[in-house]
Amino acid sequence: MASHVRLMLSVWTPPEVPEHILPELYKYYVANRKKPGDWVVLPVKSFDAYFGVSSFSKVWLGELPKERIVRETSYGVCRYIIK
């Protein structure tokens, strides 16, 4: 990950959210989008398991900056886009 992207993500990370959460979301987003600007399905329970805590879905996800990490939930599926 480029240093300017790391800096941008650290600026976006709220104090309540551990520093490693947003970079992991970003890496997942880049790896799974078809082209820049595409929405990506967010496997929330899988991220809970990956981080080893349910804090991702219950606390941290709601704290992420909504103007940068846009989320939509419909029919039990959560998708997101990073702007």
SS3 of 8-21: HHHHHCCCCCCCCH
What are the tens digits of pLDDT across the range 66-75?
999 999 988 7
SS3 49: helix
Write out 6-73 in H/E/C secondary structure.
HHHHHHHCCCCCCCCHHHHHHHHHHHHCCCCCCCEECCHHHHHHHHCCCHHHHHHHHHCCCCCEEEEE
Mean pLDDT confidence for 39-52:
93
**How many percent of the chain have pLDDT more than 90?**
78
> Which band of pLDDT confidence, cut at 50, 70 and 90, is reported for residue 48?
very high
Local confidence band at 76 (pLDDT 50, 70, 90 cut-offs): confident
Q: How large is the average pLDDT for residues 22-40?
A: 92
